[in-house]
Chains A and B, each alone.
Chain A
Amino acid sequence: MSSHKKEGLTIQFLPYAEIDGLNSTARIKKLLEIILKGKVIIIQGRLEAEEETRLIEDTLILVGKVKGFKGIELAVIAPNTRDRGIMSKFKHGIANALVGNTESLTVIGPASVIKEMRKDPKKLEVMMNRQ
């Protein structure tokens, strides 16, 4: 019998509703728990600016303390809102206020799994590390 060990990548989707009710500390804890399992997360929406830096801080505290953990790769893909008309901006502003910023997608993964994420306004390239 072949004893080839199959290795896969787990991508966990996190709907905005799952993090909406959490405070910043709980959100970041939840994300880090998933990342430390070697999974890649796709979040519907994006974190607050302060939460992004807090995530970086909390991540870096773990570098050197958790075996094999080197940090994270993070990218946010957001629609271009610059060319929208005033009414459209207003409607999206109301929608964001009511249900949160769900238009963006945030991709976060452990740096040991994702080597690099190259982003431009139209696409996101994810370079994987060889296991």
Chain B
Amino acid sequence: MAFKILTNFFKRIFGDIFAKKGNISLGFYGPPNAGKTSLSNRICKDWTGEELGTVSRIPHETRKVQFKEQVEIKYKDKSLMFKVIDTPGIATKIDYEDFLKFKVKKKDAQGRAKEATQGIIEAIKWLDDVDAVVVVIDATENPYSQVNITIIGNLVARKIPVLIVANKIDAKKADLKKVEAAFPEYDVVGISAKYGTNMEEFYESLFKLAKKTKKK
């Protein structure tokens, strides 16, 4: 009897701790062409050997949410398991004519625009299923864009921890300080997902972010 009480006690204490430990659902959000898929690919390639999606200079290349489970990331002597969720770029407008500039045929452009609109709606719905979010911003663009502010505002309202990544810092036009100035209340890491620049600092910030989740 005493043994049963003791095992139940340990189950309740430690069982709860282990039940919480699972994949941390990590969403990658941001405007189109900021480098969400490039960063997701780099992480997945680094830790699983496989990439997640295709990258293109044409906006809205990712038009469906794609994810990889059981991505074990190690930093120093710690290890965490993530579900990496790459989402379509959030935009407030979609014009098929924008795709024609990239020599996409009219019919394909119209199909692409339709898929892109559905992709954005799907990405917004996925906000209900993420534990933490990396907001990827193009460091060569204006960080004050309303899409960035709307995404971050939503995450704050839902109490989802946020890490801001200023991508493309290898580019001449990149302005990391401007991104930091735009979001002084958040941790901002400047990286180049394409070249793998500053990924150590990114992983350090990612582990800090994971600590803020309910699944820490």
Partner-B contacts on A (CB < 8 A):
48-50, 52-53, 56-57, 59-61, 63-64, 70-76, 82, 111, 117-121
Contacts and interface: CB of A to CB of B under 8 A. Distances in A.
B146 A70 contact: no
Interface in B140-196: 142, 144-146, 149-150, 153-154, 156-157, 184
Interface majority SS on A: helix, strand, loop or mixed?
mixed
Interface stretch (B34-42, B71-79, B114-122, B130-138): B114-122
Given A59-B92, A63-B113, A76-B146, A49 B153 contact: yes
Contacts of A52: 150, 153-154
Most buried by A among B94, B146, B156: B146
Contact of A74 (B92, B95, B120, B142): B92
A60 B117 contact: yes
16 contacts: A49-B153, A49-B156, A57-B124, A60-B94, A64-B113, A70-B93, A70-B94, A71-B91, A73-B92, A76-B146, A82-B184, A111-B92, A119-B142, A119-B144, A119-B145, A119-B146
Contacts of A49: 150, 153-154, 156-157
Contacts of B210: none
B206 interface: no
A57 B142 CA distance: 23
Contacts of B150: 49, 52-53, 56, 74
A76 to B, nearest CB: 6
